[in-house]
Structure 1
């Protein structure tokens, strides 16, 4: 059932215009993107089913294209729209960090890292490059797989930092298991990179560890 066929008091678009976006549930907001349901299920019910399947809207927005392909009712166009919303969120957060220091809004930094790599099914290592005023220059995923001090190469991190003329870096990686407490290997890796980059006068400002719905800053925890 499309949105226009829902009862007037159940139409998310009208509710949003009358009361604002904050008044809508996660399912209602998603229904606005989906626009139509499937046979025997109106669009709001379909949206709620999708939200529940991913454990909430955060889980949905941190998923990948492959997972969306398995959802009945999500054709290529709707998949593309959801992925576009996720990318817009990433870009909005990146734009904020380009205009103010990354530590002016710690939550934006953590959200940015989660949106970039939090939902990936494999472990990956990302580096955020910042200038002398700690504003974002660029971010790059440099390594993936099982991450240890031996698997992350300081030389490659240093080369990319020099390429971007970065004064500092923020290290980041994900834990697909969902646990974000730093391990001994995480702390050892951080120390190794601090020592290597310090020789080039490039500061390691933080090491952020994320999962799909959690994030931890080693700097905020006093571990850096």
Structure 2
């Protein structure tokens, strides 16, 4: 089956694989917004579709209300093949702008291996401490690889 997309005006052309994946991620996002996220499994399919095949590292946040319903997902930082610069101040700023009560950190590993690094653990601690200053809870940090999502919370790293 071939999916067609509009090519500027009235013409249609066959969609590229990247475009199909982006459309699927948008559809999943629309289904997740407003939903209660009680576990890493609740958002794993969405995150795999959104971040799983990226060639560069992307760091984002799921901003939640006090009932853990998703307010918005934002990709905040974009990096290189093996890392990205993340600024806790910007995460706190966005959490306050969204009036979020809780945050779930997410990022991908373009290598496909979802195992958290020591740098990931240190960053999580810094972000958690920054969010605590403004009474926002850090619920989890999810690392997305090829086909799997690793949860800091489930591993006892939070």
Q: Higher strand share goes to which structure? A: 2
- For 1:88 and 1:181, locate their aligned partners in 2 and report how far apart those are by CA, in whole Å: 25
1:98 to 29, 34, 40: 34
Residue-by-residue CA offset, 1:62-120 (whole Å, 9 max, x unaligned): xxxxxxxxxxxxxx722168734652454335424513x1116x423111111111111
- For 1:77 and 1:211, locate their aligned partners in 2 and report how far apart those are by CA, in whole Å: 31
Report the equivalent of 2:2.
Answer: 33
- Flag structure 2 segments of 5+ consecutive residues without an equivalent: 5-11
- For 1:82 and 1:117, locate their aligned partners in 2 and report how far apart those are by CA, in whole Å: 12
Q: Tell me which stretches of 4 or more aligned residues in structure 1 moved more than 3 Å.
A: none
Q: 2:124–2:141: 8 Å Cα contact kept in structure 1?
A: yes
Report the equivalent of 1:118.
Answer: 52
Max radius of gyration: which structure? 1
1:79 to 11, 15, 25: 15
Q: Higher helix share goes to which structure? A: 1
1:158 to 87, 92, 96: 92
State the Cα distance separating 1:220 from its structure 2 match: 1.7
TM-score (normalizing by structure 2): 0.83
Q: Cα RMSD over matched residues? A: 2.4
Report the equivalent of 1:220.
Answer: 154
Residue-by-residue CA offset, 1:20-42 (whole Å, 9 max, x unaligned): xxxxxxxxxxxx2369xxxxxxx
- For 2:3 and 2:63, locate their aligned partners in 1 and report how far apart those are by CA, in whole Å: 36
Higher RCO (C-alpha under 8 Å, 6+ residues apart): 2
Q: 1:127–1:172: 8 Å Cα contact kept in structure 2?
A: yes
Call closer, same or farther: CA 1:34–1:137 in 2, change over 3 Å: closer
Q: 1:110–1:216: 8 Å Cα contact kept in structure 2?
A: no
- For 2:48 and 2:92, locate their aligned partners in 1 and report how far apart those are by CA, in whole Å: 23
- For 1:134 and 1:173, locate their aligned partners in 2 and report how far apart those are by CA, in whole Å: 19
Report the equivalent of 1:129.
Answer: 63
